[in-house]
Structure 1
Amino acid sequence: MPVQPNIASTAFLIAEPARAKILMALADGRALPAGELAYAAGVTAQTASTHLAKLLAGGLLAVETEGRHRYYRLSGSHVAQVLENLAAIHPVNDVRRKPLTPEARNLRFARCCYDHLAGAVGVAVTQALQQRGFIVACADKQFEVTLAGVAWFGSVGLDLAAVRPTRRGLARQCLDWTERQHHLAGPLGAQFMTLLCAEGWLRRAKASRVVQVTPKGWDALREHLGIEGRLGELSHGH
């Protein structure tokens, strides 16, 4: 009899509201202690401990010990991808929508999706890379980097020869749950995000998934990728 994935047990783990909040609190790739995760989920420390044990047993979390403290993180980018894809499942015929909170607007504008850039800015960057022929969408939700793309990434300081692909490839299409379009993920997406932060184009918030585009970043995005206008207005409106 063929081996079947245990989808039901994984879905059960994610479906519980407190556990879902714990997972989303870790969706930017950080490692957090149980106390912070309990606060994020709105539950007691004892309840959080029970949920964390179940998520660990289910393979959704990993834990590392530093002295007397235990820090929890997602077990990998594949878990973040599942969360992002689940968040994208949304009724298309919503007529009434609650006003977004400032935090929700900021997350929608630009955020970390585990280790890569997501939100309106992430999608705009990905589309600009495609429009300029630097990356091309291909089968199995992958992006192929063209020769022009290799040269362009090199010009901004990212040597693609040094980026190691995983078994899932070098560059992946990740469905953005707020924009309903794909942004750049995979090892290339992660290294590109790291570069943009190191160059001062982006700044990650310390206590959330929010990412800010700096004035230097807007200048660079305009110069290198032609990104401006509506996104610039949104950055102030959000």
Structure 2
Amino acid sequence: MPIVEFKPRKTSLPQLEPDDLSTDQQYLYKICIGIQNGTITPNLAKRDPGKMSHARWLTTANRMLRLYIATKNSSLTQIILTEFILKVYAPVWFEIKTKSYIYDGARHLWKAINASRGFPDNVKHITNKVFADNAYFAHPKNLLLAMLSDTRPYIRELAARIKKCRMQTNKMIRVFRVLFLNLDADDYIDLIDWQKTRITEPPLTFNIINETLNNIVKRSLKF
């Protein structure tokens, strides 16, 4: 399909090396930048956005963006989908690509929620349910890992509650449940109500002695 004159739309992608990406990933990165700049290179215009597959959302996003730059009068639905890819899906996808440790998960979840807040209520009704049903990284265990790796010292201090968890003598079997999600949280640490949640130690810190844990709180957790 030929490229038409289209309205540039903003995106916010992390800096990365395109050579580190697969062909389909490069396409998504470059077409997002192209739509933001309002210019699609002849080479990108000729490239295949990738095969459509229900198992590969990335190529679906590629095709949606390719359709946008080839449509003169985009429908409202098409514009909303394009905006969602540019403002939520692609930025978070590439953030995950560049920061893929388990302790980054809670921050990625919050960024996706935060980025989607500017959409109409009928859209948020859909996205918020998806966030709530899949909020595995908002579990206290994963939040505590994120907090241990936070760049802010006072957040790492809050994560020191892990030591308090170790003092518990309750040997109940721990069931991993998706908790009620605070979709209005101003920071990832507020995604849950800590006062109403039973806090247990993350398995990844079981073998970390208190002295080492104190050093992590001082300097931040890094693998």
TM-score by length of 2: 0.29
Structure ranking higher in helix proportion: 2
TM-score by length of 1: 0.27
Structure ranking higher in strand proportion: 1
